[in-house]
Every structure is written in structure tokens, then in C-alpha cells.
Structure 1
Amino acid sequence: MPTTLPVPIEFRLPEGWLAARPQGADDSEVAFAAVHPRPDAGFAANITIDGGFPKDGVTLEELADASVERLRAFAEPGSVVVVHRREAGSADAPALTQRLGFSALTDGDVRRDLVQSQVYLLLVDTGDPHKRAVIRLALTATAAQHDGVLGDFQDFVRTVRPDNGAGS
């Protein structure tokens, strides 16, 4: 069963994107997945959401480094490159973005050059600042399609916020 997020969030998918069952959902760490309706050469760009409670003192940069290492276990040897990384957000709501380039075998044996853009959002409990949750949003697309769907992902990221249960 897909994982649940450490805190409830709300968001709006970009127009045309379709909610999807996370790949390997029986043991997936992904809480939510969506796919672009027009695949590029058989690969559907996808947006995933996951998250957790980091250990005390762990930084967003360390979490991003850990993502790079997990991707290296999946990608073709030596292909993972951190193309870009920067801190974002504010002191009250820190965030980090990074873009990774890599090659991987998909659909069993098709080698693809892929790009993954990740956004890490740190949510701090206002009642207890020592309680922190991290939400990771990721866009994975072929290198050829990435820039064409990046705007959709950026629009999506702007809609993500804690769900206070008030409904909209």
C-alpha cells in the first residue's frame, strides 16, 4: 500500500495530468503519483509526492543528498548528476530545490536519459518547533520533455499547502 504523508496537504494537479497508482504501490514510499497524458517515446512524465519525519538536526541538503544516493541505486552506474541545487522558501518555511540528470532502464530494457526536479518543503509544527515534517515533490521526465512540463510542475508546487481541514 502506498505510504501516507506525515502531515495532510492539499494541492491541485495541472490541467490534463492524471492521478495514477504509484509504481510498485504494494511497497512504495510514494503517497501520490500523477502522469502526463502525452508520453514522450513511451515514457510518461510523472509527479510524485512522498514525505516523512526527519531525525533531529538533519538538514534539507542532507535529505537531498540521500535522494541522490537512492537514485544512484536505480540509475545506470555513474549517470546521476546534480545539475542544480538551491535553497528556497523562508526562515518560517524553508525549502530546497534540486535538478538531477540520469540514465535508467525503463520498461525492462529501454535506456532513457531522464531529468528529475525535486522540491523539499520543511513544515514546522507551530505548537512544537522541534516537530518537523518534510514533503518531497518530484517531477521525472525524459530529457527531451522535461522543459516542456516543468511549468506545469512549478504551477503544481505553488498549490501545495498544509490541509487545515477547513475545505475550500
Structure 2
Amino acid sequence: MTTTLPVPIAFELPDGWRAAPPDGAGAPGAAFVALHPRPDAGFTANITVDGGFRPDPATLAEIADESVENLRGSGASVEIAERREVGSKDAPGLTQTLAVSAVAGGTLRDLVQSQVYLSLLDVDDPGKRAVIRLVLTVTASQHGSVVEDFREFVRTVRPDTGTAQ
């Protein structure tokens, strides 16, 4: 079942990417899915967006660790290739790149996941924190040609205030 984000965001898709229904794209817990126009060896690179309220004191690194454990729980082999904190005190973020070996479409595949975590605090109640996760999943062989599209996408993500810019 498709989920909704705890806070509205706006973004622009890179050229050629197309939105797809999360349930139909095999990402039922996502709020948004975009698919790359050129599959690689039967696997379609995808960008997913999900998130939720996090009233607990978990750090972004701890939340990222949860994602790693969830992937491992699905039977995937996962290694953290890179992780770093980004942003500022008022707008913290974390990025991580994962090397994933998993069965997708009935085939064992070497995949790369680039994940970005954004923490958004309620300006009126800093105890209310939403965490948005942006994820690129791509074959290891296609990663180099697609990762810049993901970076372009991430640069466009912003809170959706409902006013035109």
C-alpha cells in the first residue's frame, strides 16, 4: 500500500525518468517512485521516496542503520560503502552508499543503493521530526551513468509550501 509523506515536498525528475505507481513498481511502502528509461540487464533503475515522523531520539546514522538491517532482513547481502553527514544543524542530512547483492526479478544481482536522509523539524514544535528518505537503486554496472541523475534530483527536493516559485 502506497504511503504518504509526513510533510509535503516538491522536486523535479531528471530528463527521461517517469513516475510510476509505487504498488505497481514493487515498492508498496514508498510515497513516490520514478523509473529510469533504460533498463540494464532486465533491471530498471529507480528512485523511491518514503518517510515518516520520528518522535524518538534516533540519529540519522541510527535510522540509516535500520535501513541496512531491513535490507539484510530481506535476505540481501549489504555492505556500507560510504556514509557521511551533510547539511547543517538546522537542516541535517545523511548520505550513504550501499553495495547490495540481492535477488531481483528472479535473478541474483549486484546493486548499488544511494540513500539520502533529510531531517525536517517543525518550526513551532522542534519535538516533531520528520525524516524523508530518497533512494536510488541501480545495477552496479549502471551506477556510474545514473548517479548524477539522482544527485540532480536530490538538489531539487524542497519543502512544498503550496506557493509557486
Q: TM-score, normalised by structure 1?
A: 0.93
Q: Give 1:118's match in structure 2, choosing from 109, 115, 120.
A: 115
* One-letter amino acid of the structure 2 residue matched with residue 84 of structure 1: E
User: SS state of the match for residue 141, structure 1?
Assistant: strand
CA distance in 2, matches of 1:74, 1:148: 27
Structure 2 residue aligned with 1:82? 80
Give 2:145's aligned residue.
148
Counterpart in 1 of 2:100? 102
From the superposition, tell whether residues 23 and 146 of structure 1 become closer, same or farther in structure 2 (CA, over 3 Å).
Answer: farther
Q: In 1, Cα distance between the equivalents of 2:164 and 2:73?
A: 40
Sequence identity (%): 62
For the residues of structure 1 that align with 2:33 and 2:123, how far apart are their CA atoms? 28
Q: Considering only aligned residues, what root-mean-square deviation do their CA atoms show, in Å?
A: 1.5
Relative to structure 1, the CA distance from residue 18 to residue 61 in structure 2 (aligned partners, 3 Å threshold; closer, same or farther) is same
State the match for 1:129 in structure 2: 126
Q: Distance in 1 between matches of 2:151 and 2:26?
A: 29
CA distance in 1: counterparts of 2:31 and 2:158, whole angstroms? 15
Q: Name the counterpart of 1:15.
A: 15
Residue-by-residue CA offset, 1:52-108 (whole Å, 9 max, x unaligned): 0113311101100000001112243xx21000000000111000000001111111x
Answering whether residue 42 of structure 2 is matched by residue 32 of structure 1, we say no
Measure, in 1, the Cα distance between the counterparts of 2:25 and 2:110: 24
Once residues 26 and 98 of structure 1 are traced to their aligned partners in structure 2, the CA distance between those partners, rounded to angstroms, is 22
Query: How far 1:134 moved relative to its partner?
Result: 0.4
Give the structure 2 partner of residue 2 of structure 1. Answer: 2
Tell me the SS of whatever aligns to 1:144.
coil
1:70 alignment partner, SS class: helix
Q: Which residue of 1 aligns with 2:63?
A: 63
